[in-house]
Amino acid sequence: MRLGIMQPYVFPYIGYYQLISSVDKFIIYDDVNYIKQGWINRNQFLLNHSAFKYVIPLKEASSFKHIADTFIDPRSYPHWCVKFFKTLEQAYRRAPFYDQVLPLIKNCFLELENFTINELASNSLKKTSAYLNIDTTFAHSNNCYANEQLSGQERIIDICLKENAETYMNAVGGQQLYSFNDFSTHKIDLVFLKTGEITYTQFNGTFIAGLSMIDVLMFNSAEQISKMLKTYNLITA
């Protein structure tokens, strides 16, 4: 069984979805601390041929709180959403798949029950995966593995063992965090996924890479994106 484990992000870049689609089970790593000034509650989309950053407002966000316990600010969020979707319309109303994917995006942002950033981010991962017909199984780490005394690589290996994973897959940025030998000791194959060169037409401007999955969805069909999800290289021991 191939396993992926990552902190949740709101509509992250396409490489994150490549990781999801390449594993059998994907664990949303939500019982680790929120990273202030990180990308959990922010990203970028295309606006007037430039990268436009959006930041989702949070309530008393702290690097001492778990992602699962970090709440969206209920006072400012409704107004923020109105502004966000107006900007999104300005940015993409002429994009070929705007009408098709806007309901998906609205559903992720507006259909919330507990108003945590974890819920919103998880929505964007699960519902986009469903839209793209990715059949990976999702789970959450929060309150599941009883291993909070562990950290870093040790904790990831422990989760892999409890899930009976034969392979642990991670984005290429994790090469500095994980050791092939340490995973091999536990009979787990460690594999890193490196996103290949992915380009597509963004109106008539110069292509801007590394934007939120929102941008990919606006300009490409689900079938086209499915092909992009296979554009990667694997790094093994």
pTM value is: 0.96
Q: How far is CA 66 from CA 60, 197, 212, 222, in A?
A: 12, 34, 23, 33
Q: What is the pLDDT along the chain (237 residues), one digit of tens a residue?
A: 999 999 999 999 999 999 999 999 999 999 999 999 899 999 999 999 999 999 999 999 999 999 999 999 999 999 999 999 999 999 999 999 999 999 999 999 999 999 999 999 999 999 999 999 999 999 999 989 999 888 899 999 999 999 999 999 999 999 999 999 999 999 999 999 999 999 999 998 899 999 999 999 999 999 999 999 999 999 998
Q: How far apart are CA 201 and CA 76, in angstroms?
A: 35
The domain locations on the chain are 2-235
